[in-house]
Amino acid sequence: MHGVLAYAFGGILALLVVASAVTALLIRRYPARSYTSVRLRIQTWWWLAGLLFLALSFDPLVALGLTAFVSYLGFKEFVSLVPTRPADNPTLLLAYLAIPVQYLWVHMAWYGMFIIFIPVYVFLLLPLRMVVAGETRGFLRAAGTLHWGLMTTVFSISHLAYLLALPEHAGTHGPVRGEMLVFYLLVLTQLNDVAQFLWGKLLGRRAIAPRISPHKTLEGLLGGVLTTTLLAWLLAPWLTPFSPLDAVLAGLLISLCGFTGDVVISAIKRDIGVKDSGRLLPGHGGALDRLDSLTYTAPLFFHFIYYFYY
Amino acid sequence: MPTNPFLKAGQAVLRWLFMLFVAYPLVLLGLGLRVRHRERLPAQGPAIVVANHNSHLDFMVLLALFPFLSVPRVRPAAAADYFCKVKWFEWLARNFVGILPIVRGGAQQGEADPLEECYRALEAGQILLIFPEGTRGQPEQLAELKPGIWHLAQRFPEVPIVPVFMHGLGRALPRGQTVPVPFQVKVAVGHPIPLLPDKYTFMASLRGHFEHLRGKVAPPPEQDDCLVEEGLNEPAKNEPAENELAKNESC
């Protein structure tokens, strides 16, 4: 592993140790209160951080395979939540097949294909397969939900993997590699969620989206934006090619778009009538509950950096 | 079931291999499980687990619910007319999956008791998996329950009967479809069903238990999406014979 990343993971380790210690202290101090949810969440964070470490420590192919698998889990959760028509099962198999193909383009670093494969080819192909199946009732809704699922869980998330395919770029403290960008984006996106949650708990008063996410507050959002932008600016010289101004812009982008992704997925869950998308990640819910912000930040951060630096 | 200890150990190894290379990859990676009250499953035999039946993957999901080491003691009851038609297939099903073949409609033909092998398994302290519907039926619908389970329970009144309801397999691999589509499966395990002396009250209570568990994992039928409902009335073209056989089926 690259030296800078090793230090960065040291930082994550320290953060998790502090989080676990604080929870342990709180549990001792207030034995009457229940901290099960917080404890489970932090425990899951340990696993996720370990997974990220494994993904970035070995060959980029490992990271690519893991990202593809995460897309698969997210898409599976999505199609399991939404109603599907029995006649669309063959179409669904095709949609699943699009996942390895999309990641193959990433592996080949074939940017042109990567960027249009799902929005153009798969978008046009799936309805064709549905026409062959012959069921017209609910056609538009079925085609729409399928494509929505692929765009969020596969197309968006695959941008994370494409960061790995980007060539080395000169940074303030040495060359910047794809792994560092992945780390930067992932850690900031997830810390932004945590920061918004914590600031909301501390200062939250004004609900910002009461009909969609009653616990999201304006204070939480602003606290998160400030924390994330500060961190983005602090980490940028080591992990990215950003100038200080661009780093601040990237921080604003990640925090505001992360929030948007979060509430958009919440709105969908509310539409379907579920609270959590699954139980894969104890304390968090399903894979989609953790990917929600990333469905927005991954493609937007990617195009921000791709446009200005590559 | 072989009495020779070496044969027995060999069969256990085959069943573990089946779990490792077929059942776990298909069920845990291909489908994904959300289980409610897994702890209610019987840890020790003899016991009977009754489940709804929608798909060829059902028995793999049920097997995957048990701890890896106890899988060889869990025996799915399966239709002899389906699994024992061809010799080599029967051998695979018996040794890798550990099925107990049941001759559907056997009781009426005046032949040997179709549940004979189930009795032996329970006497040996094994856990029996039974689909009282006797057939996979229409996707995500509970068909008529056959009374074979009541006969079994009368003979073994001490053996607990644990109901399990699975939702989602009728989407993943309904009858008539050959390639499974990945869908998450929700599973609810219930409390043991009390044994009742009257056949019809017992069957009604079993159905009631299934309906109750269904409410835990599946949306109520009236709220079910019309799109999902629509496909249910399509006749299953591929296997018309299975319905006929199921009519006087006993397990």
Residue A53: Cβ within 10 Å count: 17
Q: Which residue of A has its CA nearest to B167?
A: A80
pLDDT in tens, B94-118: 889 988 888 776 555 566 777 888 8
Which of B184, B217, B230 would you mutate first to test chain A, the one with the most A CBs within 10 A?
Answer: B184
pLDDT band for position B246 (cuts 50, 70, 90): very low
Q: Tell me the mean pLDDT in the region B53-61.
A: 90
pLDDT band for position B221 (cuts 50, 70, 90): low
Q: Chain-wide mean pLDDT for chain B?
A: 81
Q: DSSP letter string over chain A? A: --HHHHHHHHHHHHHHHHHHHHHHHHHHH-TTS--HHHHHHHHHHHHHHHHHHHHHHS-HHHHHHHHHHHHHHHHHHHHHHS---GGGHHHHHHHHHHHHHHHHHHHHT-HHHHHHIIIIIIHHHHHHHHHHHT--TTHHHHHHHHHHHHIIIIIIHHHHHHHHHSPPEEETTEEE-HHHHHHHHHHHHHHHHHHHHHHHHHH--SEEETTTEEEEEHHHHHHHHHHHHHHHHHHHHHH----HHHHHHHHHHHHHHHHHHHHHHHHHHHHHT-SSS-SSBTTTBSHHHHHTTHHHHHHHHHHHHHHHH-
Give the CA-trace dihedral at B208, B209, B214, B217, to 10 degrees: 150
Q: Which of A83-92, A211-220, B94-103, B134-143 has the lowest mean pLDDT?
A: B134-143
B119 has pLDDT over 90: no
pLDDT for the residue numbered B247: 37
| B34 contacts in chain A (CB < 8 Å) | 278-279
Query: Using CA atoms, how far apart are residues B40 and B42, in angstroms rounded to an integer?
Result: 6
Asked if residues B102 and B51 have their Cβ atoms less than 8 Å apart, the reply is: no
pLDDT band for position B62 (cuts 50, 70, 90): very high
Q: Which of A97, A75, A47, A94 is nearest to A291 (CA)?
A: A75
Contact A97/B at CB under 8 A? no
pLDDT for the residue numbered B24: 94
ipTM over 0.85: no
When comparing pLDDT for A163 and A173, which is higher?
Answer: A163
pLDDT band for position B3 (cuts 50, 70, 90): low
| A142 contacts in chain B (CB < 8 Å) | 227
Do B177 and A89 count as a contact with CB atoms less than 8 A apart?
yes
Contact A99/B at CB under 8 A? no
User: Across the interface, which of A83, A85, A92 has its CB nearest the CB of B181?
Assistant: A92
Q: Tell me the mean pLDDT in the region A244-249.
A: 95
| A137 contacts in chain B (CB < 8 Å) | 227, 230
B135 has pLDDT over 90: no
pLDDT for the residue numbered B108: 59
pLDDT in tens, A34-52: 888 888 889 889 999 999 9
Q: Which of B193, B129, B205 is nearest to B166 (CA)?
A: B129
Assign 3-class secondary structure to chain B.
CCCCHHHHHHHHHHHHHHHHHHHHHHHHHHHCEEEECHHHCCCCCCEEEEECCCCCCHHHHHHHHCCHHHHHHEEEEEEHHHHCCCHHHHHHHHHHHCCEEECCCHHHHCCCCCCHHHHHHHHCCCEEEECCCCCCCCCCCCCCCCCHHHHHHHHCCCCCEEEEEEECHHHHCCCCCCCCCCCCEEEEECCCCCCCCCHHHHHHHHHHHHHHHHHHHCCCCCCCCHHHHHHHHCCCCCCHHHHHHHHCCCC
Where in the sequence is the domain holding B52, given as residue range(s)? Answer: 5-247
Q: Chain-wide mean pLDDT for chain A?
A: 91
B224 has pLDDT over 70: no
Contact A141/B at CB under 8 A? yes
| B232 contacts in chain A (CB < 8 Å) | 86
Q: How many domains does chain B have?
A: 1
pLDDT in tens, B68-81: 999 999 999 888 88
Residue A263: Cβ within 10 Å count: 19
Cα separations in angstroms, B148 against A127, B121, B124, B131, B202: 46, 16, 20, 10, 11
Contact A80/B at CB under 8 A? yes
| A92 contacts in chain B (CB < 8 Å) | 181
| A79 contacts in chain B (CB < 8 Å) | 182-183
Interface of A with B in 271-310 (CB under 8 A): 273, 278-280
Do B34 and A137 count as a contact with CB atoms less than 8 A apart?
no
pLDDT for the residue numbered B199: 83
pLDDT in tens, B142-191: 888 887 888 888 888 889 999 999 998 888 988 888 889 999 999 999 99
CA angle B32, B34, B40 (to 5 degrees): 130
